[in-house]
Amino acid sequence: MEKAILVVEDERKIARLLQIELESEGYRVLLAHDGIEGWAAFQEYQADLILLDVMLPGISGIELLRRIRSVNQDVPVLLVTAKNSVEDKVSGLDLGANDYLTKPFEIEELFARIRTSLRLSARAAQTDHAEEWLIAADLKLNLNTREVERADKPLQLTQREFDLLAYLVRNKKHVLNRDQILSEVWGYDYDGNTNVVDVYIRYVRKKVDEGFPTELIHTVRGIGYVLKDTL
């Protein structure tokens, strides 16, 4: 069954070009040319993936992403950002964007990112049906609701932080190197740069380990990280 992609892009020539290229790859493409149209299209149609420009009239791409994530945590969202818009990238990832592309980009890179996001989304959906809870020591993750608790205390994690923690818990007691984590959680290589893993490990540690008597996430010097489930 063909996958439906919602493209929210205000530059009509670019939107049309993306539509032609994506349809040539077998996708069904829906177009919206501003944030308000994008929100209406998201509510009306069931898209399998959303390609979302950050700079939009009406409402911004970041605000549209916030609205989407308030009602749907699962649909993959790929942000398209300007070359130097670091703040937009960080805001988008924190709000639950799955990935981002920086203009200008090659169409083959877009295809690769879409395939990866759809594959990870399908894998997550299968996992959600197969199991509900992940548990390590006093840490609990609900894969269906994406709730996290430690010692019965609720923890608030972003989507990426949750995915990273879930991967660590699934592989508890196993030392994971940065390339493994990057491949499984992000689904692609940031041009060989694995620093993003270290950054997000710090984010997760701050929420999962700070304030608790025992640390669960450990650094294995020169290799990577391991989650230990003993208190």
Q: State pLDDT tens for residues 62-94.
A: 999 999 998 888 899 999 887 666 676 677 777
Query: Which residue ranges make up each domain of the chain?
Result: 4-127, 131-227
Percent of the chain clearing pLDDT 90 (strictly above):
63
DSSP per-residue codes, the chain: -PPEEEEE-S-HHHHHHHHHHHHHTT-EEEEESSHHHHHHHHHHS--SEEEEESS-SSS-HHHHHHHHHHH-SSS-EEEEE-TT-HHHHHHHHHHT--EEEESS--HHHHHHHHHHHHHHHHHHHHHHHH-SEEEETTEEEETTT--EEETTEEE---HHHHHHHHHHHHTTTS-EEHHHHIIIIISS-STT--HHHHHHHHHHHHHHTTTSSS--EEEETTTEEEE----
More confident residue, 84 or 175: 175
Fold of the CATH domain 131-227: Arc Repressor Mutant, subunit A (1.10.10)
**pTM of the full structure:** 0.57
CATH number attached to the domain at 4-127: 3.40.50.2300
Average of per-residue pLDDT across 170-184: 91
Query: Which of 44-58, 130-144, 165-179, 210-224 has the least mean pLDDT?
Result: 130-144
Q: State pLDDT tens for residues 107-138.
A: 999 999 999 888 887 776 665 554 578 999 99
Q: What distance, in Å, lies between the first and last C-alpha atoms of the chain?
A: 47
pLDDT value of residue 87: 72
Cβ 1 vs Cβ 33: under 8 Å: no
Q: Per-residue pLDDT for 192 more than 60? A: no
